[in-house]
A and B are shown apart, each in its own frame.
Chain A
Amino acid sequence: MNIQQRQDLHATLTRSSLGDIQRCWQKTPQDYDYQILRAPETGMVMAVARTENSGEPFNLGEVTVTRCALRLSGGETGIGYVTGRNEQHALHIALLDALAQIKGQSEQVFSQVIEPLKQRINDNHKKQQQETAATRVDFLTMVRGED
């Protein structure tokens, strides 16, 4: 798994609900042998924005985030950071992150879990985009003054 794939894995799993991940994966953390490096814990990330999206950075406010880190018996370490306070969600992400690093297992994680979830996310986004597009307007300027 290269860096880009790993970013893809996190982008997909953090945008999916725990329920959806479990449905695709059909395994549970109990099925694996791993050692917890950092037990799931909830904290915050300060969301930083830029003035007008390009200028000086400023603190917008914090976001609850839950994180977890673990190591498989083979030595692969996985991490999970996800918005919200769901510890199982962070644990599932960390475990899948670790499993995808095992040589020969990455394809399975991607084909069985990541790709279907990505498809689901894309379908949802597409539906939302279409509903948004239905609200597109054309404002016609009325002539002001005489005539």
Chain B
Amino acid sequence: MYVAVKGGEKAIDAAHQRLQQKRRGDKSERALTIKQIREQLPYAVDRVMTEGSLHDPELAALAIKQAAGDLIEAIFLLRAYRTTLERFCDSKPLDTDAMRVERRISAIFKDVPGGQVLGPTFDYTHRLLDFSLLEDVQDNHDTQKAPETENLEYDVADNFPHILNTMSHEGLVEQHQSEQVSPSFDITRDPIQYPTDRSTRLQALARGDEGFLLALGYSTQRGYGRTHPFAGEIRIGQVALSIVPEELGFAIDIGEISLTECDMVNQFKGSKTIKPTFTRGYGLSFGHNERKAMSMALVDRALRGSELDEDFGTPAQDEEFVLSHADNVEAVGFVSHLKLPHYVDFQSELELIRKIRKEHDGEQNEEDVDSAA
């Protein structure tokens, strides 16, 4: 237990000034602009928006600047800001079928309608440091080219049907259909009740820590709750956000948001009465966030263990374990509180240990006397 303390205001003010100095760094260097962060660190911005649970690239970039690049601190800042805003309404369910695709790949079929398009990706890079970026010139801007778009070998596809849906007519892959428009539970309004349904879990996973979900997803691959996953489809792009404003009574688009979606296809399931069917795990995140979406899909599938009547007993299958530790803002809060004054608490621990040690000495002496006798 920690106790309240008084004093230290001057020191705290000075410490915050030091923080500002540290954030600003060498003043002979030009300060970073929000636009530079937004444009040149897009993956950091996307991670902060996703786990900060607020899609606003400009504010995410601001948070990254203010947090001096500490992304979890930036996520915390964005989460805190979102609590100051009123929620107008829910959007209509996003339609990722109508996504303007920037990247779309499948690991289960070579030839898919619309084709496999790599888009911007770190895949197939050699992970060698590019020393040309060290040069502080108006950055190879002039030499960086867009891909050649003349004489394209392929037609430009503007429609990319979901790959797993193309398998659905045979009934090989499970299909989930719902007419429901609004989620029945919102973890930002009510505390999670166990057991949870899949929608609740997906909301928690969507804002969950990427590293935590990556490790859990990895653990299922290494055998702790194996689900035999394949990346059925990963797509990244822009999706229209629509609402039905109270003033209108019909839907209008209010902009586009960027999304990453991962459709995992997993080991089949069946019973005496149900034919074996591939099962699915789903991952969705703001921005370009492939690692997160894949990890989320692996963990989503692992958490469906009891629904699918699977053997239980690994961390990734335990919804209470996963959901109560996935949120890095909550985790940081509890870990950080250890820095608060625990002086009184520790004093009593000190007294206790001194007492026990004294008793221990006493027992030792008695034993020594006994053995000597």
- Residues on A lying within 8 angstroms of B by beta carbon are 3, 6-7, 10-11, 14-15, 41-65, 67, 69, 77, 79, 81-85, 125-139, 141
Contact pick for B117, options A41, A51, A61, A135, CB 8 Å: A135
B58 and A11 contact, CB distance less than 8 A: no
Q: Which residues does B use to contact A, with CB under 8 Å? A: 49-50, 53-56, 58-59, 82, 85-97, 100-103, 110, 115-119, 146-149, 152-158, 162, 164-165, 175-178, 180-183, 186-188, 197-200, 202-203, 206-207, 240-241, 243, 245, 247-248, 250-257, 261, 263, 280, 282, 284-286
Contacts of B180 in A (CB 8 A): 56-57
Report whether A85 and B58 are in contact in the complex, using a CB–CB cutoff of 8 Å: yes
Listed A/B pairs (9) with beta-carbon separation below 8 Å: A46-B186, A47-B55, A53-B95, A56-B176, A56-B199, A59-B183, A132-B156, A133-B117, A135-B118
Q: Which residues of B contact A3 (CB under 8 A)?
A: 250
Pick the residue among A45, A59, A60 that contacts B243 (CB under 8 A).
A45
Are A134 and B149 within 8 A (Cβ)?
yes
Complex contacts, B101 vs chain A, CB 8 Å: 132
> Would A43 and B86 be within 8 Å (CB), given that A14-B253, A48-B92 are in contact?
yes
User: Separation in Å of the A135 CB from the closest CB of chain B?
Assistant: 4
Contact B117 A46 (CB under 8 A): no
Asked whether B252 lies within 8 Å of A46 as measured between CB atoms, the reply is no
B152 near A81 (CB under 8 angstroms)?
A: no
Report how far A127 CA is from B100 CA in the complex, Å.
12
B322 to chain A minimum Cβ distance, whole angstroms, is 16
CA distance A7 to B92 in the complex (A): 14
CB of A83 within 8 A of CB of B149, answer no
Chain A contacts of B175 at CB under 8 A? Answer: 52, 54
Q: In the complex, A40 Cα to B177 Cα: how many Å?
A: 38
Asked whether A82 and B255 contact (CB < 8 A) given A43-B87, A64-B85, A136-B154, the answer is: yes
- Give Cα A129 to B104, complex, Å: 12
Q: Which of B147, B158, B202 contacts A131 (CB 8 A)?
A: B147
Known interface pairs A133-B117, A134-B149. Does A56 touch B59 (Cβ–Cβ under 8 Å)?
Answer: no
Q: Given the known A-B contacts A69-B247, A137-B116, are A57 and B181 also in contact in the complex, defined by CB atoms under 8 Å?
A: yes
Q: Which A residue sits closest to B285, measured CB to CB?
A: A60
Say whether, besides A43-B86, A44-B87, A58 and B199 are in contact (CB < 8 Å).
yes
